[in-house]
Amino acid sequence: MISADHLRKIAFWSHDLDGDEIERVRRAVTEKQYTRGEYICHRGDRLDSWTGVSDGLVKLGTTSRSGKTVTLAGIRSGAWFGEGTLLKDEPRHYDLVALRDTRLALMNKATFFWLFDRSAAFNRFLVRQFNERLGQFIALVEYDRSLDATARVARSIAWLFNPVLYRGNEERHLEISHEEIGLLSGVSRPVTGQSLKRLEGEGLLRVEHGGLTVLDLSRLRVYGE
C-alpha cells in the first residue's frame, strides 16, 4: 500500500481518477526494489501485475536461442507497462532487466481490471499508450534496417522523452550512462561515446557526468532523415 500523494507522483494517469478510484488503487499498489543487472522477469514468466517504474531504468528485450539479444524498449521513471499481457492473460514475451538499481510499482491484476471496467479516463490513457507503443515498435524496425549508429542512439534517447509515455516528467535531464544508452540502442559502448560526442557537437544534447541534457528534442526524434 502507498499513499495517495505518492501514487500521484509516480503515476501521472492517476491525476484523472476520482477519489474512490484513487483510494482503491493506492491500496492495491506495492513497491519492490531490484538491483542493477537483476532480471525482473524472463520471457515465459507470468508477472500478474501492472507495472510502473517508480525510479530507475528497465530494458525490455529478448534473447534468441543462439544467444543474440534484441532490445525492444527502454523504460524509465514514470512509465507504466504490461497492460497487454494482463489483458491477453498470457506469459511475458520478453525479458525485463534492471539496468540500474530500480524500484517498481506493482498494481494487482484485480484492481487493474476494476479500473478497466469502471474508468473512462483510465481507458483513454490505455488507448493512447497502446498507440504510442505501437509507433515505438514500428520505429524500432525502421531504426534497425535503415539508420546508422548515431541515428539509432539519437532516436533511442528521444523515445525516453516521449510526451505520451512520460507525461508529467518533462525534465530534459536524464541520469543515464554510456553503457545503458548502448544497451538500449543496440550498439557498443565505444560507439555510443562517439555518437554522443557527435550529437553534442551538433548542439542536440549536452553530455554530463552521469547523464545528459537534451537541448533539441525535435531534431533528435528525426535524426538521420
Mean pLDDT on 187-213: 94
pLDDT of 115 > 70? The answer is: yes
Give me the pLDDT at residue 186, please: 83
pLDDT of 50 > 90? The answer is: yes
Please give the model's pTM, rounded to 2 decimal places. 0.81
pLDDT category at 92 given cuts 50, 70, 90 is: confident
Give me the pLDDT at residue 62, please: 83
Report the distance separating Cα 183 and Cα 177, nearest Å. Answer: 10
- Structural domains in the chain, sorted by start: 4-118 (2.60.120.10), 147-221 (1.10.10.10)
One-letter amino acid for residue 145 of the chain = R
| Sequence-ordered list of residues with C-beta below 8 angstroms from that of 143, at least 6 positions apart, any chain | 151, 152, 155, 156
Mean pLDDT on 62-91: 85
Give me the pLDDT at residue 70, please: 74
pLDDT category at 16 given cuts 50, 70, 90 is: very high
Cell match 520471457: residue? 43
Average pLDDT, the chain: 90
Give me the pLDDT at residue 185, please: 87
Give me the pLDDT at residue 144, please: 67
pLDDT of 168 > 80? The answer is: no
Give me the pLDDT at residue 143, please: 67
Q: Is 221 exposed, middle or buried (0-12, 13-18, 19+ CB in 10 A)?
A: middle
For 71, 141, 196, the CA distances from 191, given in Å and listed in that order, are 16, 20, 9
pLDDT of 80 > 90? The answer is: yes
Q: Residue 95, Cβ neighbours under 10 Å: how many?
A: 20
pLDDT of 140 > 70? The answer is: yes
Question: Considering the chain, what percentage of its residues have pLDDT values greater than 70?
Answer: 96
When mean pLDDT is compared across 60-64, 115-119, 136-140, 204-208, the lowest value belongs to: 136-140
Give me the pLDDT at residue 71, please: 79
pLDDT category at 68 given cuts 50, 70, 90 is: confident
Give me the pLDDT at residue 145, please: 65
